Amino acid sequence: MHRRSFIHHMSLGAAGIALQPSFANTPKNAAANKLVLSLIGCGGRGLSVLSGIVAVSDDIEVKYLCDVNETLEGIKTAIDKYSKAQGYAPKFTGNMKQVFDDKDVDAVVIATPEHWHTLATIWALQAGKHVFVEKNPTLSIWEGRKMVEAATKYGKVVQVGFENRSATYAFTARDYIKSGKLGNIVHVKCYNMLGGGKWMPEADTSVPKGLNWDAWLGPAKKVPYNPNRHSMTGRGGWLDFWDYGGGALSDDASHVMDLARLALGDPGHPKSVYCSGGNIAFHSEKETPEFLNITYDWGNGFAMTCESGNFTPYMQKVPGEIRFSKTEFPFWPQTSTRIEIYGTERLMYLGRHGGGWQVMEKDGKVVDSHKDIFPDVFHHQNFVEAIRLGKPANGNVLQGHLSASLVHLADICYRTGNKQLFFDHQSERFTNSEAANKLLKGNYRAPYAVPEKV
């Protein structure tokens, strides 16, 4: 089967119809052309995304800042900043339900740890809010399907924080591949090779003052407070635990694989996954692995691999000065978050977060290329535009689910013994492992359970 026919077949078979928010999505404050936002999760990334969306136009305001840690330094700074800009101070709350219950709020930014993303998004949609949810959008494949169902049912815009979906270089890479100039696509390599060090366990402690630990745990099981799981001043180590995240694979590799999917025409679920790896670099005792080497097979199409780990200090992400350059490209061999797309005629290097792309022939001859800047600003603009014009967001929830599923498939493969797992894209279940099927859905703690019926 030709690559383009394969992509079309897979997209129809697994992705289904596109989510189409209705024109009824116009904000309640449309008469004044005002959009009222609130933030759930006031860490550095959340505050950055909120600031970026507010900067899109002068008629966007912030009503709430919500976090379970009331001691975060950025909260006061943000309240002062928005108070001066909009003439009234945003309210701080530790309870996201207060935000959802306020009918003045049109949209929320959800920038919590990953284990809260799905439930917070569903609650927001049920309350009639549009949602910008950070990656990785889900903690399991079942959660992804629930998020898709909720977005479809309530007809609101959901923008997943896979910002490369608003990058011009992503669209031109997709068009270039579709044109056939690379030839037939046979193999795709995704890299997420970062620096790191040995993970060291710490003892449980009492809950720090100012933190609602029960609310931070939310859907996850009740455990004592531990500094390895949470930090009062920074991001913390929650990605090292299966209850809260998917390790390096969900943190950075999710961006890389999502960009690869977009460039390749957004295929649906792969037919099988195989991985090898583990804590083999530093022999750490953490739950999520230090390294994974993954192979995804789409059947009569291309194969895709992903190499993801935290032990290569000689690799680096696209540097800041290149991310915001429209002419400079990264040094591909040591770019830690790159994609290599191998066709029968040419090779394409593609880099996330402003890396752009170059196409090469023999002897390093560059025959085509496209470069643009880090696409956060475009992704924020697209979110606001989708709300105001009633159109789908670039990072729609269905594609977010399919990209996040690549993370979940590989992590399940690792957790069940690095076996090859075969996956049915229609039922979203494994056909050769009941142990793997048991990991398709998490275990939830009342009253924070993700609902069966959204």
In this prediction, residue 301 carries a pLDDT of 79
Mean pLDDT across the chain: 93
Q: Is the pLDDT score of 129 beyond 50?
A: yes
pLDDT band with cut points at 50, 70 and 90 for residue 16: very low
Taking only the tens place, the pLDDT of each residue in 173-201 is 999 999 999 999 999 999 999 999 999 99
Q: Is the pLDDT score of 27 beyond 60?
A: no
> Does residue 447 have a cis peptide bond before it, meaning omega lies within 30 degrees of 0?
yes
A 10 A CB-CB count for 88 gives 11
Closest CA to 412 of 189, 192, 249, 229: 249
Which 8-state DSSP code applies to residue 249? I
How far, in Å, CA of 445 to CA of 309, rounded? 31
How far, in Å, CA of 275 to CA of 410, rounded? 6
In this prediction, residue 419 carries a pLDDT of 84
Taking only the tens place, the pLDDT of each residue in 424-434 is 999 999 999 99
Q: Is the pLDDT score of 125 beyond 70?
A: yes
How far, in Å, CA of 275 to CA of 419, rounded? 7
Using an 8 Å Cβ cutoff, are 395 and 131 in contact? no
In this prediction, residue 32 carries a pLDDT of 55
Please give the CATH number for the structural domain made up of 13-164+377-396: 3.40.50.720
